[in-house]
A = this chain, B = another copy of it.
């Protein structure tokens, strides 16, 4: 059973953003209090606002930020077909039984055309059951030049402020954006399955290196031992941390096997991080990376505001005609921006 919510259509999102800016959520302490006290609608509105980078969203994020940092964030990544969603749903159920509240951000890398079709196959748990302790949000990948990593990190903060004990971020883990995303979690779980061609080898550069826990799912399939050997070989290269002796966990997600152990290991890892004071070190490093990414995005936004569409087009024309080269155009524009 797949638990998810449908991504908001553009029209709906825009209406919603407009609505919010009229309500002035960002400047409204009540709305922020509502979000913090577990008001689901206030959370949904805040997420739409942040996703759409609506006016006031930065103000909102600034104000909720001091109330974040409590949630345990888990990044979970694996190739399509690795059973990622099933595992995430099962982890969610286990944590719910332990009375932990759960947020799930499912990054959906599909085309806007087909996105609806995939999600249509899935049962939307929160629509059907409305367990107030679980909140699931699907996010579709956005346009050119990223923006997804930013939006995901910001939505994770909202779920944190909302009070979710565990926030899981689920991605296919193949793109650079997605490496950025899971990398920002406290714990990164990489799911591998036996017999999917190149298995370990098809993972995106940078993913294998940041895994804290490897899951071998579908471990009843032939080749599980081979996958484990591959991981051990990588670990011997990477000196991977192995605090709990459980950094490789075998599961059969559709039968629920091994999932309890995974759920425990995740929290054992957290305890390990906290006891050694490592969690703060880890978060400081993540914030350094995230600040650079935020700075890049912010500078690009400023640049876009400074260079008119007409200028950009005329530069592009000159370049396409080989009257100028793009490298000196960039130098000129950078100079101009500094003088602006």
Q: Is A18 an interface residue (CB 8 A)?
A: no
Selected from B69, B238, B319, B337, the residue in CB contact (under 8 A) with A322 is B69
Q: Is A200 an interface residue (CB 8 A)?
A: yes
Q: Which of A65, A66, A174, A197 is packed against the most chain B CB atoms within 10 Å?
A: A174
Q: Is A110 an interface residue (CB 8 A)?
A: yes
Q: Is A263 an interface residue (CB 8 A)?
A: no
Q: Is A325 an interface residue (CB 8 A)?
A: yes
What range describes how many residues of A lie at the interface?
A: 35 or more
Separation of A294 and B321 alpha carbons in the complex (Å) = 18
Chain B residues positioned under 8 Å from A112 (CB to CB)? 205
- Contact indicator A296/B294 (Cβ below 8 Å): no
- Contact indicator A329/B180 (Cβ below 8 Å): no
Q: Is A278 an interface residue (CB 8 A)?
A: no
Q: Is the interface of A mostly helix, strand, loop or mixed?
A: helix
Interface locus among A39-47, A127-135, A299-307: A299-307
- Nearest chain B residue, comparing its CB with the CB of A337: B299
- Contact indicator A328/B68 (Cβ below 8 Å): no
Task: Looking at the assembled complex, report how far the CB atom of A322 sits from the nearest CB atom of chain B, in whole angstroms.
Answer: 5
- Contact indicator B205/A334 (Cβ below 8 Å): no
Q: Is A23 an interface residue (CB 8 A)?
A: no
Q: Is A284 an interface residue (CB 8 A)?
A: yes
Q: Is A243 an interface residue (CB 8 A)?
A: no
Selected from B175, B203, B325, the residue in CB contact (under 8 A) with A111 is B203
Task: Looking at the assembled complex, report how far the CB atom of A12 sits from the nearest CB atom of chain B, in whole angstroms.
Answer: 18
- Contact indicator A292/B296 (Cβ below 8 Å): no
> Chain A residues in contact with chain B, CB under 8 A?
58, 61-62, 65-66, 68-69, 80-81, 109-115, 117-118, 140-146, 148, 172, 174-180, 197-198, 200-209, 230, 234, 237-238, 280, 283-296, 298-300, 302-304, 307, 312-313, 315-317, 319-322, 325-330, 333-334, 337-338, 340
